[in-house]
Amino acid sequence: MFWSAWTKGKYLIILGDPSKISNMNTPEDNGSGQQRPDTVSALERGIAVLRCFTEERRTLTSTELSRLTGVPRATVGRLASTLATLGLLKQQPDGDRYMLGPGVISIARVFLAGLDVRAVARPHMQALAEAASGSVYLAVPDGLEMVLIEACRPRTTMLSPRLDVGSRAPIANSALGRAYLWALAKPEREALVESLRLSRGSEWAALEPGLRRSLADADQLGYSISAGEFHREINSVSVPLVGPGGEVMALNCGTAAFFYTDERLCQVVAPQLLRMADALAADIGGHVPKPR
């Protein structure tokens, strides 16, 4: 599910925050009033319902799902009932509160099992986590966010952020997202930036300068930094990793800002991360994009 979304280079707002989805009650069109021939609106609405659930929103009522998706409550009720029948949602005893069901686990396992890069990456990532005393992540894009598919932490420190497999990071202001964005071909990159602009609304004016500055820095350095822009007290550095089939991922190393100062990030951690990424790329038959 995640993989196909980003290898095809499509950046639909529906793949991001469900609260940003508009007009979900009618077939999607291209601005001409005609339904897109390559989409099924009912399926899009069902997926939008599933994407409403996050680590902070583990249970939701039909009313809340309707508000988040823009889909009428009666339609949401039918969608939720169908998803519950399929095991993708679980209905709470009170009858009008839902949570994700066990069916999503089997889908996620199939997806993760197909990513052989995780098994190859893990020893490289764990070695860097120990050497750099920071958390190391591997992530793939999912719409307007990055999703962690592997996470390694040093065994000798308690400073590391507690993100885990399945956690998400926004493309616009995370080092992971910026590294991924930088590695894209320019037309694809600008199309994604436009989707980010539309999805972030009034926030965009504050986000864009940092994003553009990070892309310019990556042109010179080959890596991206987020200094307290995703998590206020966390500094991190990321590099893109291109797989053998051209799929773009991102590697990240980060920890508490007082330990990963700007100087340490640039002079110590970034070179370590670049060396690790090059070694991993050689193992999987991919490459790490170089400064332009």
Identify the H or E element spanning 120: helix 116-132
Mean pLDDT of 12-25: 40
Average predicted confidence (pLDDT) for the chain? 81
pLDDT at 290 over 80: yes
Give the highest mean pLDDT range of 31-40, 159-168, 229-238.
Answer: 229-238
Work out the number of other CB atoms within 10 angstroms of the CB of residue 161: 19
DSSP 8-state class, residue 291: P
Mean pLDDT of 10-14: 33
Q: Are residues 136 and 277 in the same domain?
A: yes
Both structure tokens of 238: 């990321």
Determine the pLDDT at residue 227: 76
Residue type, 90: K
**Maximum separation of any 2 CA atoms in the chain, in Å:** 58
Determine the pLDDT at residue 112: 67
Strand spans (E) along the chain: 60-61, 89-91, 97-100, 135-142, 145-152, 168-170, 224-227, 234-242, 248-256
In a domain, 176, yes or no: yes
Q: What tens digit of pLDDT does each residue of 108-153 get?
A: 777 766 667 888 899 999 999 999 888 899 999 988 889 999 999 8
pLDDT at 11 over 50: no
pLDDT band at 157 (very low <50, low <70, confident <90, very high): low
Angstrom CA distances, 36 to 6, 17, 27, 168, stand at: 19, 21, 8, 29
Determine the pLDDT at residue 160: 55
| Number of independent structural domains in the chain | 2
In a domain, 268, yes or no: yes
In a domain, 289, yes or no: no
Q: Which residues contact 67 (CB under 8 A, 6 or more apart)?
A: 19
Both structure tokens of 131: 């050497």
Q: What tens digit of pLDDT does each residue of 65-85 get?
A: 999 999 999 999 999 999 999
- Choose one of 107, 123, 150: the last residue of a domain: 107
Spatial distance between the Cα atoms of 277 and 132, rounded to a whole number of angstroms:
14
Q: Are residues 238 and 205 in the same domain?
A: yes
Q: Is the pTM of this model over 0.85?
A: no
Q: Are residues 101 and 120 in the same domain?
A: no
* Whether the Cβ atoms of residue 101 and residue 227 lie closer than 8 Å to each other: no
pLDDT at 248 over 60: yes
Mean pLDDT of 91-114: 80
Angstrom CA distances, 291 to 33, 101, 216, stand at: 43, 44, 10
Q: Are residues 129 and 81 in the same domain?
A: no
CATH of the domain at 45: 1.10.10.10
| Domain coverage including residue 76 | 2-107
pLDDT at 10 over 70: no
pLDDT at 92 over 50: yes
Determine the pLDDT at residue 250: 95
Q: Which of these ranges, 46-60, 98-112, 182-196, has the smallest mean pLDDT?
A: 98-112
Q: Are residues 264 and 121 in the same domain?
A: yes
Mean pLDDT of 171-191: 91
DSSP 8-state class, residue 287: B
Q: Which residues contact 57 (CB under 8 A, 6 or more apart)?
A: 64
Mean pLDDT of 225-247: 83
Angstrom CA distances, 37 to 16, 29, 153, stand at: 21, 9, 45
pLDDT band at 166 (very low <50, low <70, confident <90, very high): confident
